[in-house]
Amino acid sequence: MDFTKRQKEIIDVSIRLISKGGIQELTIKNISKAIDVSEPAIYRHFDSKIDILLAILSYFEELTGDISEKSFNQEISSLSRIEDFFERLMDEFTENPSMAKVIFSEEIFQNDSRLSEKVVAIMKGHHRKILEVVKEGRENNEIRKDIPEKHITMFIMGAFRLLITRWRLSDFGFDLKEEGKELWNSMKILLSLSQSSVNYQKRIEDYLL
């Protein structure tokens, strides 16, 4: 992305400010105080506050785009690819918890139509991506087929989002990566085709004896 150093700095402290106290905390004054310049100086780097928020979204868009590219272009099973995606995302959030607070707070961006549209676009992009991989997973007999694809995506994303929400409401009071791994394990049991059939296959064999 073509952000200057100062712009990156502003994006960074803005995320931190929002994470600290919501958008109400994101004021030009607070930003300028945080990077120790005068208020008008901010306007050298962004035309308006909305543009800063737009930049935050672009930054997140790029970040998740990069991660998604890395995760989904691997030659591994579908579920492993999704797992990898969320793992990397949680790595990112663990290192930069503010991000987690901002990213799923859609209402921060509801002030302006340009913002809300971008939020929806990003969200749809993620859904599409996951949906795609889920589809593949079904074709390869990896993922169960008895419920609609879109519900599978909703289970995955919903649980993941709720985990993040709890993490930030608990003031980052638990190990996100650890809990995420456990959650994913359960998710795999729930969604994989093999898992369940294996269990019952065994029992059948017992019977057959």
CA dist 68 and 5 (Å) reads 25
CA distances from 13 to 2, 36, 110, 172 (A): 18, 11, 20, 19
**143 near 193, Cβ under 8 Å?**
yes
**Contact between 81 and DNA per CB under 7 A:** no
> Closest separation between CB of residue 166 and DNA, Å?
29
Residue 196's binding partner among DNA, a copy of itself, none (Cβ under 5 to 8 angstroms by kind) is a copy of itself
> Closest separation between CB of residue 37 and DNA, Å?
3
**18 near 97, Cβ under 8 Å?**
no
101 CB-near residues (< 8 Å, 6+ apart): 18, 19, 168
Q: Which of 3, 22, 43, 136 binds DNA (CB under 7 A)?
A: 43
**Contact between 28 and DNA per CB under 7 A:** yes
Q: Which stretch binds DNA (CB under 7 A): 32-40, 64-72, 90-98, 115-123?
A: 32-40
Q: Which is nearer to DNA, 44 or 161 (CB)?
A: 44
Q: Which is nearer to a copy of itself, 35 or 190 (CB)?
A: 190
